[in-house]
């Protein structure tokens, strides 16, 4: 059975990604989720980025600079993302203090948020108005789900690459490739190779997710949100098989 080993400290419990297949595949599945949610939300909700918050900042800046009215969803997405990150950190901290590992609860929380995103969008019908209240609420559930995912990777999957910020991942990957090719110290080359091997699946997974999400959205509209919701269920199942040593949640 795969394992995530925790270092015991007086104040915190720090889970580490182990070398098992399940632990290696989980960040890739999360990357596919992020890519598909981002593509579907962008196409189906009037240009809303659910995972790529930087994109929403650009949209807002462009609207303010041009003097045109800023869309409500991108305007709300940034504070909603920040608040969701903060609440996720508080939840994880509470779980750690009472002796429960945070990975499984956070994966479950992400699943519930994506399921709500899916249900609200499908119930609104095939021609949802991006500025309608139900569409805005649905979009914020998607943004919150991606905030939870970003937080859980840093809190519960120490050592894993980002599953939603591909600019950082691509930069890190190319720097590591350069170090592997040009590095002189064997230890530094080995570290760079290890990081590159852990980073490229996240990049590949996000790209696959974007392609699948865009293709499905063009074919069946926002019903395509079943894809990231189903993958989130898979992620929860994978998390259930991970044994977390030393905590009540193991």
**Predicted local confidence at residue 8, as pLDDT:** 40
**Predicted local confidence at residue 127, as pLDDT:** 77
Q: For 37-65, what is the mean pLDDT? A: 85
Average predicted confidence (pLDDT) for the chain: 86
Percentage of the chain modeled with pLDDT above 90: 60
119-150, pLDDT tens digit by residue? 999 998 777 888 889 999 999 999 999 999 99
Strands 3-8 and 243-244: parallel
Tell me the C-alpha distance between 62 and 118, whole Å: 29
Q: For 167-173, what is the mean pLDDT? A: 93
Please, which residues bridge with residue 6 across strands? 15
Q: For 27-55, what is the mean pLDDT? A: 91
**Predicted local confidence at residue 20, as pLDDT:** 63
**Predicted local confidence at residue 52, as pLDDT:** 81
Contact 84, 208 (CB under 8 A): no
Residue 70 — pLDDT band, cuts 50, 70, 90? low
**Predicted local confidence at residue 74, as pLDDT:** 83
Contact 145, 81 (CB under 8 A): no
In this model, does residue 248 exceed pLDDT 60?
no
In this model, does residue 14 exceed pLDDT 80?
no
In this model, does residue 93 exceed pLDDT 50?
yes
Alpha-carbon Rg of the chain, whole angstroms?
A: 19
State the CB neighbour count (10 A cutoff) for residue 179: 18
With tokens 């269920």, the residue in question is: 233
Which of 12-26, 46-60, 74-88, 170-184 bottoms out in mean pLDDT, i.e. has the lowest? 12-26
Q: For 45-64, what is the mean pLDDT? A: 82
Name which of 166, 170, 138 is nearest 150 in CA terms: 166
């Amino acid at each position: 059975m795969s394992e995530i080993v925790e270092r015991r400290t007086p104040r915190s419990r720090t889970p580490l990604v182990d070398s098992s297949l399940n632990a290696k595949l989980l960040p890739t599945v999360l990357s596919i989720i992020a890519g598909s949610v981002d593509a579907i939300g962008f196409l189906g909700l009037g240009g809303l980025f659910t995972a790529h918050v930087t994109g929403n900042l650009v949209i807002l800046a462009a609207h303010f600079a041009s003097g045109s009215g800023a869309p409500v969803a991108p305007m709300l997405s940034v504070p909603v993302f920040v608040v969701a990150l903060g609440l996720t950190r508080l939840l994880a901290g509470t779980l750690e203090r009472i002796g429960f590992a945070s990975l499984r609860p956070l994966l479950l929380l992400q699943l519930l948020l994506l399921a709500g995103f899916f249900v609200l969008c499908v119930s609104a019908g095939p021609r949802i108005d991006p500025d309608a209240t139900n569409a805005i609420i649905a979009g914020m559930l998607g943004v919150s789900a991606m905030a939870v995912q970003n937080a859980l990777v840093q809190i519960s999957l120490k050592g894993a690459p980002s599953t939603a910020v591909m600019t950082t991942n691509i930069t890190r990957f190319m720097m590591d490739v350069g170090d592997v090719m040009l590095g002189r110290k064997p230890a530094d080359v080995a570290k760079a190779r290890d990081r590159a091997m852990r980073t490229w699946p996240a990049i590949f997974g996000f790209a696959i997710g974007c392609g699948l999400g865009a293709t499905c959205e063009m074919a069946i509209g926002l019903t395509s949100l079943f894809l990231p919701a189903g993958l989130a269920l898979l992620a929860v199942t994978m998390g259930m098989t991970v044994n977390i040593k030393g905590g009540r949640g193991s």
